[in-house]
Structure 1
Amino acid sequence: MTRKEDLHVLTTTTTLKAVVEKKVTGFPVVDDDWKLVGIVSDYDLLALDSISGSGQEETTMFPDVDSSWKTFNETQKLMSKHNGRVVGDLMTPSPLGLPETTNMEDAARLLLETKYYQLPVVDGEGKLVGIITRGNVVKAALKTKRERFT
């Protein structure tokens, strides 16, 4: 797990410009007491970029005629997020926070089931203590495997 001291975190008032300048796949959003209040992923930023029309025709932000209603609704939600200029407008609120007591096997299972690249880790009060990524799980599994066979 990457501990909170080593993380890039955001607040709801962080500007989107400041977020885009960082080269990280996702950011936890915390309040003044480090309570996890949201998450901004590279998907959110990519969607924001495509919706803002950077280099694309205006019509490409709408689904094709044969797209499903679900796709259309998802596009509308992303477009409404673009109206804001701060993290609080773009973030996914109330993200899944993994309890810090979760064992590695359950964390790996959850990362696979949710298809998330990373999950915030929180204490009993919902305060951010770190992030666990797929890379963290792979490294831990390889270390355990090496220790068993040496």
Structure 2
Amino acid sequence: MPITVDDVIQLLCHLSQVKGMKAAVKHSARGALLGIPAALLGGLLGGPVGIAVGGAVGGLLGAWMSSGQFRPVPQILWQLPPAEQKKLYNKAVVVLSRLHWTDIAELTTLVMEDMCLLENLTAVLINYLSKELGAKIQYRQ
């Protein structure tokens, strides 16, 4: 049976739930850009001291913004644009290509029972999240 993008995303969501994966996608560019206007505004309002205060406040806000918030990986995967889901699908389908299955439940069972396959698919997901999205991954403790 041909595997669809939604099937792969659903499978990866199940896998990430079982492993208790959360990820924080960083917004470092947005955070860095906040420091410049804050320093400029501080300079306009308070002169040289305002530049220092505005830069410090902007830097702190930028650091806070770029730290990211940990969210469940399934939430992140379902919110990906279709082009990004397709990119992840293309990577995962290489690992799944040798399997024969009839529905998503059987596919999920096949993957979860084969430790090698499970680890390979987990590696695909982790590499995608960290390299493509720049996410930091956290596991349930």
TM-score, length basis structure 2: 0.25
**Which is bigger in relative contact order (C-alpha 8 A, separation at least 6)?**
2
TM-score, length basis structure 1: 0.24
Higher share in helix: 2
